[in-house]
Amino acid sequence: MSYTSLLTQLKNAQAVKKEIVKSPYSKMDEKILNVLLRNNYVEGFEKKGKGAKKILAVKIKYNDSKGVITGVKFISKPSRRLYVGYKDIRRVKSGYGLSVISTPIGVVSGSEARKSKVGGEILFEIW
């Protein structure tokens, strides 16, 4: 579950006003960053290096010198996986947040999963 460390790094780097965070590469992290990019939680990211030395360089997004990410809640953990059907996917913070779900069609946001009528493992909520 390396995405937990990636999200914690993003939140902590944002608190000290860093511009770029470097994290070890994984396919799961890349898919999660794509969802965060589509929903305007990060400004951009790129893969660097090759082989075992691949990293993800993530550019953090700010609004008026405040970080866009104010909180993260990890739902599924290695000790407890939580699965939801598409009808049970709820809105986060009255629509101001985002839930990220691992589904058979890939890693998507909660609203995309509801529109596609597909459920899966709910990974985390971000707002």
* CATH number of the CATH domain containing 96: 3.30.1490.10
Do residues 76 and 25 share a domain? no
| pLDDT tens-place string over residues 23-32 | 999 999 999 9
Q: What's the structural domain count of the chain?
A: 2
| Sheet order of strands, 55-60 included | 20-24, 55-60, 42-48
Domain of residue 81: give its range: 72-126
Q: Does pTM top 0.85 for this prediction?
A: yes
| pLDDT tens-place string over residues 30-42 | 999 999 999 999 9
Do residues 61 and 112 share a domain? no
Name the β-bridge partners of 125. Answer: 73, 99
Domain boundary among 16, 36, 67: 67
Do residues 9 and 63 share a domain? yes
DSSP string, 7-37: HHHHHHHHHTT-SEEEEE--HHHHHHHHHHH
